[in-house]
């Protein structure tokens, strides 16, 4: 909204990217600061009282161990995100070391593209599932089995075409492209007509995609909600608005750079200048979940030092 507003006055981010970044940060910080000042948490006071009464009733009926539900170190909620992200980032770094131009990201995406057709058939988008209003269960099962068989057959056909010599020369095709390679992680090799090395690299790429995407999703899903629950349920003094600004800020800045087509931003820092580029910023986002996870865990573990008497807010 800020970008649209400043464009009405004839401002272009490409003319002065540092000014655009400053306006963006002012709007971002102002929105999070204003939200935390105006709304500490919607209707949380009554929820705390209700939870307190429920806990007292539960303790009278049965013995509850709080550590099974919540760990003060955050290991149950946060550590899987850090481990998954580290694995994904390690695979990206390993591909870059192996001279893969994009860390295996484009390589995996290119090989994933042919599998879109089997997925569309299976989901019913490309070939809708036939349903009858008045028919026997046997005919319904036959039609659904034929639909499933078509999607499996299409997937097998894609595998044969892409990963065997009976199809296209996939390794040569990938190596001829400037943005990808046929061996990002493991050296390509064949067993008979099968490009087994290419298939293994593809499986590693799927693992890399899953780890990175899931860790980013989990960061937004859990790490932004954790400060609220910690602050109001367990008495920690972590400020949710500040933490969520730290989480969302880099993603907002990089998204703004991509949408506005800003390739580089030069930020003067006294005698030196800090240069932000789209490519470096996108790579930095891969490491962000791990950095934020470590910061949050350290903050929780130091709670007893920073605040000797945690208060319940």
Q: Which two tokens stand for residue 148?
A: 């499933």
Share of the chain above pLDDT 70, in %: 71
Polymer length in residues for the chain = 313
Tell me: the pLDDT tens digits for 187-226?
Answer: 888 888 888 989 999 999 999 999 988 988 887 777 777 7
What's the total number of domains in the chain? 1
What pLDDT score does 7 carry? 67
Q: Which two tokens stand for residue 44?
A: 């949380």
Mean of pLDDT values over 59-68: 43
Other Cβ atoms less than 10 A from the Cβ of 223: the count is 22
289 band by pLDDT with thresholds 50, 70 and 90: confident
| Nearest CA among 214, 206, 231 for reference residue 289 | 214
Full residue range of the structural domain in which residue 117 is found: 89-215
pLDDT at 131 over 80: no
Backbone angles phi, psi at 269, to 5 degrees: -125, 75
Residues 261-280 pLDDT 10s:
888 888 777 777 778 888 77
Question: Is residue 163 assigned to a domain?
Answer: yes
Question: Which of 134-138, 158-162, 226-230 has the largest mean confidence?
Answer: 158-162
Helix, strand, coil tally for the chain in percent (to 5):
65, 5, 30
Over residues 93-110, the mean pLDDT reads 85
- Specify if 113 maps to a domain: yes
Residue for token pair 């036959």: 142
pLDDT tops 80 at residue 183: yes
Is the pLDDT at 311 greater than 60? The verdict is no
pLDDT, averaged across the chain: 75
In this predicted structure, the answer to whether residue 48 has a pLDDT above a threshold of 60 is no
Whether the per-residue pLDDT at 296 is higher than 70: the answer is yes
Band (181; pLDDT cuts 50, 70, 90): confident
- Angle, helices 137-163/196-218, rounded to nearest 10 degrees: 110
Whether 192 is in a domain gets the answer yes
- Domain membership flag for residue 138: yes
Cβ distance 240 to 228 under 8 Å? yes
Is residue 168 situated within a structural domain?
Answer: yes
**Cα–Cα distance for residue pair 119/152, rounded to 1 Å:** 9
Q: Which of these ranges, 19-23, 52-56, 256-260, 284-288, has the smallest mean pLDDT? A: 52-56
In-domain check, residue 79 = no
The pLDDT of 284-297, averaged and rounded, is 78
Taking 50 as the threshold, does the pLDDT of residue 36 lie above it? Answer: yes
pLDDT the model gives residue 207: 94
| Angle, alpha carbons 106-257-244 (nearest 5°) | 95
Q: Under 8 Å CB-to-CB from 183, ≥6 apart: which residues?
A: 98, 100, 197, 198, 201
In a domain, 194, yes or no: yes
* Angle between the N-to-C axes of helices 116-123 and 137-163, in degrees from 0 to 180, rounded to the nearest 10: 170
243 secondary structure, DSSP code:
H
Kindly state whether residue 147 falls inside one of the protein's structural domains.
yes
């Amino acid at each position: 909204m800020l970008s649209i507003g400043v464009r009405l006055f004839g401002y272009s981010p490409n003319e002065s990217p540092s000014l655009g970044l400053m306006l963006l940060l002012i709007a971002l910080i102002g929105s999070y600061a204003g939200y935390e000042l105006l709304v500490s948490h919607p209707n949380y006071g009554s929820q705390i009282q209700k939870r307190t009464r429920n806990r007292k009733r539960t303790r009278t009926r049965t013995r509850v161990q709080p550590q099974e539900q919540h760990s003060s170190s955050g290991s149950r909620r946060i550590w899987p995100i850090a481990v998954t992200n580290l694995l994904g980032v390690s695979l990206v770094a390993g591909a870059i070391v192996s001279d893969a131009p994009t860390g295996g990201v484009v390589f995996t995406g290119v090989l994933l593209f042919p599998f879109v057709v089997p997925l569309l058939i299976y989901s019913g988008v490309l070939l809708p599932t036939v349903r009858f209003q008045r028919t026997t269960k046997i005919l319904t099962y036959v039609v659904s089995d034929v639909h499933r068989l078509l999607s499996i057959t299409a997937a097998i056909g894609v595998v044969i075409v892409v990963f065997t010599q009976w199809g296209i020369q996939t390794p040569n095709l990938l190596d001829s492209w400037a943005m990808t390679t046929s061996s990002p992680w493991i050296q390509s090799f064949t067993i008979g007509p099968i490009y087994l090395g290419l298939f293994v690299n593809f499986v590693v790429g799927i693992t890399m995609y899953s780890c990175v995407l899931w860790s980013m999703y989990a960061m937004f899903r859990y790490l932004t909600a954790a400060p609220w629950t910690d602050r109001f349920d367990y008495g920690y003094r972590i400020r949710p608005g500040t933490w969520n600004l730290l989480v969302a800020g880099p993603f907002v800045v990089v998204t703004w750079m991509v949408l506005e087509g800003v390739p580089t931003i030069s930020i003067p820092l006294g005698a030196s200048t800090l240069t932000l580029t789209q490519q470096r910023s996108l790579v930095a986002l891969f490491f962000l979940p791990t950095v934020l996870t470590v910061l949050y865990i350290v903050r929780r573990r130091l709670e007893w030092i920073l605040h000797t008497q945690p208060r319940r807010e």
